[in-house]
């Protein structure tokens, strides 16, 4: 009986290890962050990560085998999505543990993401309160297709590469809060820098859209609240 239990335990841990293997790649962790914003095609993911479609297909096949992602077909395109909200939670915990216990991760985060902030990033709950009070304007600086697949309710779409020429469209007299894909996304940092150079009061959201969506705070898709 003891030998049989040992075999079963070994089989269970072998299955559990598949999940670890499925996230054991920088690209796969980034895929989780992208899919936490909404479903994407293989081609869209490959473009976002600047890798060949064939490589992305391999990553997705491994993640699907571990039941981390699901897929659906629409015409000639295959769309992928996270199989469970806890998949994003898994990636978030990996990030949190790495920041706490791996010195190089902590150094990189402090140097490239925390140090450039002249003002403290704004948290999700505070932002929600201030949006409801009409005190801030929220800017989504991700590419337009990402905004359209899901964004913070009421946010304006101003992609980073369009920010300077569209500055006149952004309302005056209120603090601006920019956000992008997540805590390691530099688009919001760059947007805040450009806005401050133009004399605007700007901060970035702590985290990004995946964290906002995971917290079940108000979002919109194609203008529809959900």
Bridge partners (DSSP) of residue 215 are: none
* Residue whose structure tokens are 């995946």: 210
Task: Tell me the per-residue pLDDT of 154-205, one tens digit each, with 9 for 90 and over.
Answer: 999 999 999 999 999 999 999 999 999 998 999 999 999 999 999 999 999 9
Q: How sure is the predictor about 2, in pLDDT bands with cuts at 50, 70 and 90?
A: low
Question: CATH 3.40.250.10 region(s) of the chain?
Answer: 119-225
Q: In a 10 Å sphere around its CB, with 0-12 CB exposed, 13-18 middle and 19+ buried, how is residue 212 labelled? A: buried
Bridge partners (DSSP) of residue 74 are: 77
Which of 68, 180, 189, 192 is the catalytic position? Answer: 180
Residue 34 to residue 43: CA distance in whole angstroms: 13
Instruction: State yes or no: is 185 an active-site residue.
Output: no
Instruction: Give the pTM.
Output: 0.85
Burial 6-26 (b: 16+ CB within 10 A, else e): eeeeeeeeeeeeeeeebbeee
Q: Is 217 helix (H, G, I), strand (E, B) or coil?
A: coil
Q: How sure is the predictor about 118, in pLDDT bands with cuts at 50, 70 and 90?
A: low
Q: Is 40 helix (H, G, I), strand (E, B) or coil?
A: strand
What class does CATH assign to 2-87?
mainly alpha
CATH among 1.10.8.590, 3.40.250.10, 3.30.565.10, 3.20.20.140 for 119-225: 3.40.250.10
Question: CATH 1.10.10.10 region(s) of the chain?
Answer: 2-87
Residue 36 to residue 84: CA distance in whole angstroms: 10
């Amino acid at each position: 009986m003891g030998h049989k239990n040992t075999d079963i335990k070994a089989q269970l841990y072998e299955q559990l290890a598949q999940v670890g293997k499925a996230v054991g790649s920088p690209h796969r962790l980034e895929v989780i962050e992208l899919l936490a914003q909404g479903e994407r095609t293989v081609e869209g993911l490959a473009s976002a990560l600047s890798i060949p479609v064939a490589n992305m297909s391999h990553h997705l096949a491994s993640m699907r085998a571990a039941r981390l992602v699901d897929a659906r077909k629409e015409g000639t395109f295959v769309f992928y999505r996270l199989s469970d909200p806890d998949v994003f939670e898994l990636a978030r915990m990996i990030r949190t543990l790495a920041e706490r216990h791996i010195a190089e991760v902590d150094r990189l985060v402090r140097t490239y993401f925390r140090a450039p902030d002249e003002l403290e990033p704004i948290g999700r709950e505070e932002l929600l309160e201030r949006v409801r009070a009409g005190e801030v304007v929220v800017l989504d600086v991700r590419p337009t297709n990402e905004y359209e697949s899901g964004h913070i309710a009421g946010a304006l779409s101003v992609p980073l590469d369009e920010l300077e020429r569209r500055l006149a469209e952004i309302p005056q007299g209120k603090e601006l809060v920019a956000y992008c894909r997540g805590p390691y996304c530099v688009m919001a940092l760059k947007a805040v820098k450009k806005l401050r150079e133009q004399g605007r009061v700007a901060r970035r959201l702590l985290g990004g859209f995946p964290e906002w969506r995971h917290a079940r705070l108000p979002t919109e898709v194609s203008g529809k609240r959900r």
